């Protein structure tokens, strides 16, 4: 029998590994004397048994449907992510989970239909996840969607400009101001949509370092699998190829970790950051 | 038998999954007509058979020892990372790999001695990895090390100031300027060391959002395991508790991904970023 390692003996003696409790117990314990809520957003089983799920505290005791509806009502961010699934990479689950945490507008799985949901921790339930047979099809769809939104914004700007003109003729300064603001907002949205880009995240010759890259607000981020990186077609169809600066010996960090770093860079540049955690 | 899913049929038909080749073949193929290098930094087996390891292209054909020596010679960054190993979390390997990619000064494994090396992809060979029985012992060691460096910098500043004084008395303006610059450099280092902080990465009440947090150049980042997060002792001993902003339904992203996002935030604030990838 081996003698135990001295670090392990000292670790055991430290008594350190005590952890705070995550989540909440049954409603009667956490809110003694308070009436049990009847709002349908609450799940009666969770109220009975407590809620130890890996969800933010604001969603304690809520049903999955109520959480998804709340996320949609709060609005999602303007970036979308796509993951190539040619090698059935186990990091896809982790990417879906990160996309949920950072509220990506949509998640696209490219290639074979089935993917490894293990690391997603059920977050796919709260996320808009789409399948695409190929990068070419996905990029085509995405460009069409952007073009459609630009056309809609142009129509809106045109109609508002006409109404502004009519208001000016009537001498209605209040309506004129409101319609002019509407034109400005639609034009700002058009500029944002016209600046949309497809961004391949990979380390290849000619790629630019992410730390100096200004993410367009509206964008589609392409991630490849561990090992091979993105397919040739993905690199060909991207507007920009961006890499995470590497300072050590490895070519890359873990694919799930790299996707998180890239999505977080968008967040740091564009998201509204809240205050101290509650 | 199930009919194949239409996405899978179209994916197969797309012909997209072709990938560029990672790494290099045998020296004779990649450098035809050139003499085979004799520098001992090259590994003769890699020269013979090619190098498909997950290393940066600048290290192609190099031995492990030569790569580690080069990383040490280039210098490492001023942040250190510590991972609690109470639950034998499989993300530790991924964190070690990221620490290598972002050149953390040291990696500390806290608690039980053995950790899951799978995700590290052998990067632990290139990294200074230390074991500690407890967070209390680690934080104590770290504070002592910082205090020692401050004492050394103070001694250096004092000696340089004395020499500056003597140079001024001799009227040697060149020596005076050199010695004064030495005092200034030592004092800048003292300020940097005095601003060093222990930072717990976790989402608890009162934590501050990382996106608004200015990382001190010299710091020790503490990471917990998936699920329980950091131990009570780690949260107690930290100077700051910092969380990654969450916008979706989950409380947190994958632990390995979160560690990468945090280390990268330090990189974005303090590292020297290179140019276009080669």
Residues A188 and A161 in one domain: yes
Residue A222's pLDDT is what?
A: 97
Residue A115's pLDDT is what?
A: 85
A276 → closest Cβ in B57, B67, B208: B208
Q: Alpha-carbon dihedral of residues B15, B19, B25, B29, nearest 10 degrees?
A: 60
Residues A98 and A144 in one domain: no
Domain that holds residue B183: 148-194
User: Looking at beta carbons, which residues of chain A come within 8 Å of B233?
Assistant: 16, 18
Residue B184's pLDDT is what?
A: 97
pLDDT mean across residues, chain A: 92
What values do phi and psi take at A177, rounded to 5? -65, -45
More confident of the two residues B87 and B109: B109
The residue of chain A with its CA nearest to that of B133 is A11
Residues A120 and A160 in one domain: no
User: Looking at beta carbons, which residues of chain B come within 8 Å of A63?
Assistant: none
Residues A174 and A46 in one domain: no
Binning pLDDT at 50, 70 and 90, where does residue A104 land?
very high
Cα gap B183→B213, rounded to integer Å: 30
Report if residue A69 sits inside a domain: yes
* Segment A213-222 mean pLDDT: 98
Report if residue B179 sits inside a domain: yes
Report if residue A10 sits inside a domain: no
More confident of the two residues A116 and A223: A223
Q: Test A97 with B254 for CB contact under 8 angstroms.
A: yes
More confident of the two residues A120 and B189: B189
Residue B1's pLDDT is what?
A: 60
Residues A52 and A162 in one domain: no
Cα gap B238→B135, rounded to integer Å: 10
pLDDT mean across residues, chain B: 92
Residue from B254, B265, B250, B249 nearest B209 by CA = B265
Residue A125's pLDDT is what?
A: 82
Q: Test B98 with A257 for CB contact under 8 angstroms.
A: yes
Residues B222 and B246 in one domain: yes
Residues A188 and A244 in one domain: no
Last residue of a domain, one of A28, A46, A75: A75
* Segment A74-80 mean pLDDT: 93
Tell whether the torsion through CA atoms of A216, A221, A227 and A231 is positive or negative: negative
Residues B132 and B199 in one domain: yes
B16 → closest Cβ in A11, A233, A261: A233
* Segment B211-239 mean pLDDT: 94
Residues B188 and B65 in one domain: no
**Number of folded domains that form chain A:** 3
Residue A47's pLDDT is what?
A: 96
* Segment B247-274 mean pLDDT: 93
Binning pLDDT at 50, 70 and 90, where does residue A1 land?
low
Q: Test B231 with A100 for CB contact under 8 angstroms.
A: no
Q: Among A241, A257, A272, pick the best mutation site for testing chain B contact (most B Cβ within 10 A).
A: A257
* Segment A238-264 mean pLDDT: 94
Residue from A175, A132, A178, A184 nearest A157 by CA = A184
* Segment A112-140 mean pLDDT: 88
Q: Test A7 with B97 for CB contact under 8 angstroms.
A: no
Q: Test A253 with B119 for CB contact under 8 angstroms.
A: no
Last residue of a domain, one of A75, A97, A125: A75
User: Looking at beta carbons, which residues of chain B come within 8 Å of A209?
Assistant: 273-277
| Model confidence at B88: pLDDT above 80 | no
Q: Test A56 with B133 for CB contact under 8 angstroms.
A: no
Cα gap B29→A160, rounded to integer Å: 66
The residue of chain B with its CA nearest to that of A131 is B7
Report if residue A105 sits inside a domain: yes
Beta-sheet pairing, A219-223 with A79-84: parallel
Detail the DSSP E strand segments found in B30-153. 79-84, 107-110, 129-132
| Distance from the A219 Cα atom to the nearest Cα atom in chain B, whole angstroms | 18
Residue A215's pLDDT is what?
A: 98
User: Looking at beta carbons, which residues of chain B come within 8 Å of A112?
Assistant: 7-8, 11
Cα gap B58→B270, rounded to integer Å: 23
Report if residue B32 sits inside a domain: no
Q: Test A97 with B71 for CB contact under 8 angstroms.
A: no
Binning pLDDT at 50, 70 and 90, where does residue B278 land?
low
Share of chain B above pLDDT 90, in %: 69
Report if residue B183 sits inside a domain: yes
| Distance from the B71 Cα atom to the nearest Cα atom in chain A, whole angstroms | 7
User: Are the C-beta atoms of B231 and A257 separated by less than 8 Å?
Assistant: no
Residue A20's pLDDT is what?
A: 83
| Model confidence at B2: pLDDT above 80 | no
User: Looking at beta carbons, which residues of chain B come within 8 Å of A111?
Assistant: 11, 16-17
Binning pLDDT at 50, 70 and 90, where does residue A67 land?
very high
Residue B115's pLDDT is what?
A: 85
Encode pLDDT of B134-153 as tens digits.
999 999 999 999 999 999 99
User: Looking at beta carbons, which residues of chain B come within 8 Å of A234?
Assistant: 16
Residue A228's pLDDT is what?
A: 82
User: Are the C-beta atoms of B137 and A9 separated by less than 8 Å?
Assistant: no
Q: Test B245 with A273 for CB contact under 8 angstroms.
A: yes
Residue B39's pLDDT is what?
A: 95
Encode pLDDT of B95-124 as tens digits.
999 999 999 999 999 998 888 887 887 888
Encode pLDDT of B25-71 as tens digits.
999 999 999 999 999 999 999 999 999 988 888 899 999 989 988 99
Share of chain A above pLDDT 90, in %: 69
Encode pLDDT of A11-37 as tens digits.
888 888 888 888 899 999 999 999 999
More confident of the two residues B116 and A271: A271
Q: Which residues contact B123 (CB under 8 A, 6 or more apart)?
A: A248, A249, A250, B96, B97, B99, B100, B101
A268 → closest Cβ in B132, B211, B273: B211
Report if residue A15 sits inside a domain: no
Report if residue B8 sits inside a domain: no
Residue B225's pLDDT is what?
A: 86
Residue A278's pLDDT is what?
A: 62
Residue A163's pLDDT is what?
A: 97
Residues A118 and A250 in one domain: yes
Residues B185 and B209 in one domain: no
More confident of the two residues B87 and B254: B254
Residues A211 and A250 in one domain: yes
Last residue of a domain, one of B165, B194, B223: B194
User: Are the C-beta atoms of A57 and A20 separated by less than 8 Å?
Assistant: no
Q: Test A231 with B113 for CB contact under 8 angstroms.
A: no
Size of interface A-B (CB pairs under 8 A): 308
Cα gap B27→B25, rounded to integer Å: 6
Q: Which of A53-67, A70-84, A147-161 holds the top average pLDDT? A: A147-161
Tokens of B169: 């008395």
Residue A214's pLDDT is what?
A: 97
Cα gap A84→A223, rounded to integer Å: 6
Q: Test B16 with A86 for CB contact under 8 angstroms.
A: yes
Binning pLDDT at 50, 70 and 90, where does residue B90 land?
confident
């Amino acid at each position: 029998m081996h003698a135990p390692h001295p670090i392990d003996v000292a670790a055991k003696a430290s008594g350190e590994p005590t952890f705070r409790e995550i989540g909440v117990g049954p409603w009667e314990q956490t809110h003694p004397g308070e009436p049990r809520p009847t709002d349908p957003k609450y799940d009666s089983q969770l109220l009975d048994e407590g809620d130890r799920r890996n969800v933010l505290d604001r969603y304690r005791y809520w049903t999955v449907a109520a959480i998804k509806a709340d996320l949609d009502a709060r609005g999602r961010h303007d970036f979308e992510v796509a993951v190539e699934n040619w090698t059935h990479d186990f990091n896809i689950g982790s990417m879906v989970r990160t996309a949920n945490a950072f509220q990506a507008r949509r998640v696209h799985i490219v290639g074979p239909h089935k993917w490894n949901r293990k690391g997603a921790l059920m977050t796919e339930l709260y996320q808009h996840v789409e399948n695409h047979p190929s990068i070419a099809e996905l990029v085509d769809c995405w460009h069409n969607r952007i073009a459609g939104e630009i056309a809609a914004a142009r129509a809106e700007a045109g109609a508002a400009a006409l109404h502004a003109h009519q208001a000016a003729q009537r001498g209605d300064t209040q309506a004129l101001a409101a319609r002019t603001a509407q034109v400005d907002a639609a034009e700002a949205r058009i500029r944002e949509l016209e600046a949309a880009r497809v961004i391949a995240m990979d380390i290849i010759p000619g790629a630019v370092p992410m730390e100096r890259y200004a993410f367009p607000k509206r964008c589609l981020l392409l991630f490849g699998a561990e090992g091979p990186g993105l397919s040739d077609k993905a690199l060909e169809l991207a507007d920009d190829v961006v890499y995470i600066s590497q300072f050590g010996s490895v070519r890359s960090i873990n694919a799930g970790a790299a996707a998180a770093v890239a999505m977080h860079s968008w967040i740091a540049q564009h998201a509204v950051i809240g205050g101290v955690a509650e």
